Amino acid sequence: MDKLLRFVAIVLCCFACSQNEQSPQEGDFYIRFKVDGQFYEYEVSSHPAVFFYDANLSMYHGSVLVPRPGSDGTKDFIQIIVRNESEIKVGETYHMQDAILANSVPLPRINLTWANPEGLVYNAVLLKSSYPGLSIANDAQVKYTEIGPQIIRGEFSGIVIGPNLASSSNPQLHITDGEFKLKRGGA
């Protein structure tokens, strides 16, 4: 009987440990990417990915806003917004320049914004089709690789332009090798 009790205790302990391993820990969440080859990684403790349906615009949204720890909200952050006519799906690559209609107005499918550590803000938010006379280089792609009840994973890249200075030329920055693992939040 004593051996049976020890065996049951060991099985219960192993089961409890395996349950703990499956639940995500705070330090497990991140967003990482390169900007013109320079690597950035933001550990995420409290900024979840949010999915919701906007009935007023008849579209689904996937939204991520991640400040680097210590950021005051005016610098050192990244934001990704994906809009779609149907629920956002795993494995589908969304393209910024594939416009989505909101009350008959074309919008970019993706908005990608990055503020560098000095507070200079770069965006990919302009549709080339809306400004045919301008040479617009901004673009973005997002692919969700996991959308679960607790975790969202994905990949992203883009070309952001800015900052909006008095100069007639805005520099382009290439965001590459972007990936994220974030807690899924409710909306």
Cis peptide bond N-terminal to 163, omega within 30: yes
109 in Cβ contact with 96 (< 8 Å): yes
Amino acid in position 8: V
For residue 11, what pLDDT band results from cuts at 50, 70 and 90?
A: very low
168 band by pLDDT with thresholds 50, 70 and 90: low
Is the predicted pLDDT of residue 138 greater than 60, yes or no?
yes
DSSP 69: T
Q: What is the pLDDT of residue 45?
A: 77
Return the sign of the alpha-carbon dihedral for residues 45, 31, 97, 85: negative
What pTM was estimated for this model as a whole? 0.81
What 87-91 contacts at long range (C-beta under 8 Å, 24+ apart), as own/partner pairs, is 87/60, 88/51, 88/60, 88/62, 88/144, 88/147, 89/144, 89/147, 90/144, 90/145, 90/146, 90/147, 91/143, 91/144, 91/145
pLDDT digits (tens, 9 = 90+) for 17-76: 433 434 445 458 999 999 999 999 998 877 789 999 999 999 999 999 999 888 888 899
Q: Domains of the chain: which residue ranges?
A: 25-185
Tokens 């693992």 belong to residue: 181
Q: What is the mean pLDDT of residues 71-89?
A: 93
Give percent of the chain with pLDDT exceeding 90.
64
pLDDT of residue 163: 81
